């Protein structure tokens, strides 16, 4: 944790109260005492510094000064086939830490139906993982996550509008061109499930203007491929 990210419910004017996971981090990892300063931020707000006013086993109270904007997001919409639930948690953290602010989780032939039943898809569970990513990267702007459980209606009815005015790419071994490096333009990136999109799905994506690109001969896990692709497109 490189930033103590606070909900508005934790803040009263210039004072913040910390309990639970965040308190444990302050006491066990940082081992702070009264008078110590830590980096703080408000969800979807500014960042700054917090001064430990009091701390015990139940709570910490901080005087906070929030005066610094969050870093600029990267201009990327990420569309990702729903991964395995445990992998989803890691993916959300890494995606959030890399500055992506729009995430679409979609269905695919190779996505197991049981994946959509996981409790990790609750609003609270998703937000918790996103916050962990923001705290790691010192960011405050919470990404928006959209669930789309039907592949064909999403591609035919929604994707065309989503990719307008962006470079639309799908990572797939069939891509004749290599994935761009440092693209420097708004981009929509589509990433398939383990085993990849089936040929029918690739063709449907191409029909609306998505270009298949390759990232090399290696077959990567989704949790590895997504950060690799994002870092390649936006290395800065």
Taking only the tens place, the pLDDT of each residue in 156-184 is: 999 999 999 999 999 987 778 889 999 99
Residues 202 and 99 in one domain: yes
**Residue 221 CB neighbour total at 10 angstroms:** 13
Residues 83 and 145 in one domain: yes
Q: What is the pLDDT along the chain (236 residues), one digit of tens a residue?
A: 899 999 999 999 999 999 999 999 899 888 899 999 999 999 999 999 999 999 999 999 999 999 999 999 999 999 999 999 999 999 999 999 999 999 999 999 999 999 999 999 999 999 999 999 999 999 999 999 999 999 999 999 999 999 999 999 999 877 788 899 999 999 999 999 988 899 999 999 999 999 999 887 677 788 888 999 999 999 97
Model's pTM, two decimal places?
0.93
Total number of domains in the chain: 2
- Listed residues 24, 44, 68: the one ending a domain: 68
Residues 173 and 196 in one domain: yes
76-81 sheet: strands from edge to edge? 144-148, 102-106, 76-81, 187-191, 167-171, 211-214, 177-178
Residues 96 and 119 in one domain: yes
Residues 16 and 96 in one domain: no
Residues 36 and 84 in one domain: no
- For residue 175, the model assigns a pLDDT of 75
Taking only the tens place, the pLDDT of each residue in 12-51 is: 999 999 999 999 989 988 889 999 999 999 999 999 999 9
Residues 217 and 117 in one domain: yes
- Listed residues 68, 96, 111: the one ending a domain: 68
**Pair type for strands 11-12 and 15-18:** antiparallel
Q: Tell me, what CATH number does 43's domain have? A: 2.40.240.20
Phi-psi region of 81 (alpha: psi -120 to 50; beta: other; left: phi over 0): beta
Residues 102 and 44 in one domain: no
Residues 85 and 46 in one domain: no
Residues 104 and 152 in one domain: yes
Which residues span the domain enclosing 18? 4-68
Residues 92 and 196 in one domain: yes
- For residue 149, the model assigns a pLDDT of 97
Residues 61 and 156 in one domain: no
- For residue 30, the model assigns a pLDDT of 82
- For residue 146, the model assigns a pLDDT of 98
């Amino acid at each position: 944790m490189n930033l103590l990210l606070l909900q508005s419910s934790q803040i009263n004017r210039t004072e913040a109260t910390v309990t639970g996971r965040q308190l444990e981090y302050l006491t066990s990892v940082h081992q702070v005492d009264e008078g110590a300063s830590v980096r703080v931020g408000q969800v979807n707000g500014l960042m700054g510094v917090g001064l430990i006013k009091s701390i015990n086993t139940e709570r910490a109270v901080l005087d906070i000064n929030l005066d610094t904007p969050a870093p600029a997001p990267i201009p990327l919409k990420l569309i990702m086939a729903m991964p395995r639930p445990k992998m989803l948690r890691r993916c959300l953290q890494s995606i959030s830490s890399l500055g992506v602010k729009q995430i679409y989780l979609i269905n695919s032939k190779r996505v197991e139906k049981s994946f959509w039943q996981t409790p990790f898809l609750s609003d609270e569970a998703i937000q918790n993982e996103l916050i962990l990513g923001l705290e790691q990267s010192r960011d405050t702007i919470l990404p928006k996550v959209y669930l789309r459980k039907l592949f064909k209606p999403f591609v035919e009815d929604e994707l065309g509008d989503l990719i307008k005015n962006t470079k639309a790419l799908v990572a797939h071994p069939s891509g004749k061109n290599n994935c761009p490096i440092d693209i420097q333009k708004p981009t929509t990136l589509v990433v398939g499930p383990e085993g990849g999109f089936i040929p029918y799905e690739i063709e449907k994506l191409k029909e609306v203007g998505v270009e298949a690109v390759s990232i090399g001969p290696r077959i990567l896990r989704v949790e590895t491929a997504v950060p690799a692709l994002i870092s390649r497109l936006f290395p800065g």
